[in-house]
Amino acid sequence: MQKTEISQNLEKVKATFPNPDCLLVAVSKTKPNTAIQQAYDAGIRDFGENKVQEITDKAAQLPKDIKWHMIGHLQRNKVKFIVPFIHLIHSVDSLRLLKQINKEAEKVGKTISCLLQVYIANEETKFGWDKEELNSFLLGEEINTMNNIQIVGLMGMATNTTDEAVIRGEFKTLKDLFDNLKKLPLPKNVEMKEISMGMSSDYLLAQQEGSTMVRIGSAIFGSRNYN
Ligand SMILES: *Cc1c(COP(=O)(O)O)cnc(C)c1O
């Protein structure tokens, strides 16, 4: 069988992984089902999307053993649409959102795996928790009332810059935070095992700094056209 460009890109990207055990989440936002199917045929089962309508449509049309990852900012009123099928929500950027996920998950009798998105970048536009909020929430009372979520780690996005020292520093900050949280007496619905950090431009640095999941789009599917 002829190798598709997407399967070749996947091979190339994976060959550069400093950590072969790091999970590759193929970010397929804006890309058609045909492209996703090609990555699927090359063995990929984890796909990331950032829009509720798009991920819901794609999940309905594509193979049922795909694990769908929500990686973009999620509005509370849209949580209910993804809860029935979502594998992991990386982008839980507030307590209000987490509460809503718990509520909708309870309605359908599910437990939803979540990552808490941490604010590490030096940019106004990045969402997320800071260190103090995380500590007080994870050691507080409220988390114990959330029976339908499982927090499995942290997610972060570095500043959009070509300065590698800045990016590496931000990934280090996230890893340190993760390691420190791991040492705490965490509640039963919190487990620090995954760090989702790294995209096409910085996944090498991210893996060197301890990432367990990278979210890679353009290096696999080519650049995006937002029209
Ligand atoms: C789009 C996106 C990615 C992938 O970006 P690439 O540069 O195409 O690899 C990763 N993470 C998030 C949160 C994104 O929105």
| Ligand 1 center to 200 CA (angstroms) | 7
Residue nearest to atom 15 of ligand 1 (CA): 72
Mean pLDDT of all residues belonging to the chain: 96
- What pLDDT is stored for residue 121 in this prediction? 86
- Domain-located, residue 213: yes
Determine the average pLDDT of the residues in 146-159.
97
> What's the pLDDT tens digit per position in 3-33?
899 999 999 999 999 999 999 999 999 999 9
pLDDT tens across 109-130, in order?
Answer: 999 999 999 999 877 766 899 9
pLDDT at 197: 98
pTM: 0.97
Q: Is 164 among the domain residues?
A: yes
Q: Is residue 226 part of a domain?
A: no
Ligand 1 in reach of 13 Cβ (< 6 A): no
First to last CA, the chain: 33
pLDDT at 211: 98
Instruction: Give yes or no for residue 199 CB within 6 A of ligand 1.
Output: yes
Tell the residue nearest (CA) to atom 6 of ligand 1. Answer: 217
| Rounded CA separation 217/113 (Å) | 22
Residue range 147-155: average pLDDT? Answer: 98
Range 38-58 average pLDDT? 98
At 73 the pLDDT is: 96
Ligand 1 atom at minimum distance from 216 CA: 9
- Domains held by the chain: number: 1
pLDDT, residue 227, reads: 63
- Centre of ligand 1 to C-alpha 185, Å, is 33
Mean pLDDT of 197-219: 98
Kindly state the helix (H) or strand (E) to which residue 154 belongs, with its residue range.
strand 149-156
Please report whether residue 117 resides in a domain.
yes
Give the number of other CB atoms < 10 A from CB of residue 195. 26
Structural domain for 192, as ranges:
5-221
188 part of a folded domain? yes
- Give the Å distance between the CA of 111 and the centre of ligand 1: 26
Distance 83 CA to ligand 1 centre (A): 22
Atom of ligand 1 nearest to the CA of 27: 4
Structure tokens at 169: 């520093």
% of the chain residues with pLDDT over 90: 93
Q: Residue range 140-163: average pLDDT?
A: 96
Q: Report the pLDDT value the prediction gives residue 216, as an integer from 0 to 100.
A: 98
> Residue 153: what pLDDT?
98
* CATH code of residue 88: 3.20.20.10
Contact residues for 127 (Cβ-Cβ < 8 A; gap 6+): 73, 91, 93, 94, 117, 119
* 50 CA closest ligand 1 atom index: 15
227 domain residue, yes or no = no
Q: How is residue 2 annotated by DSSP?
A: P
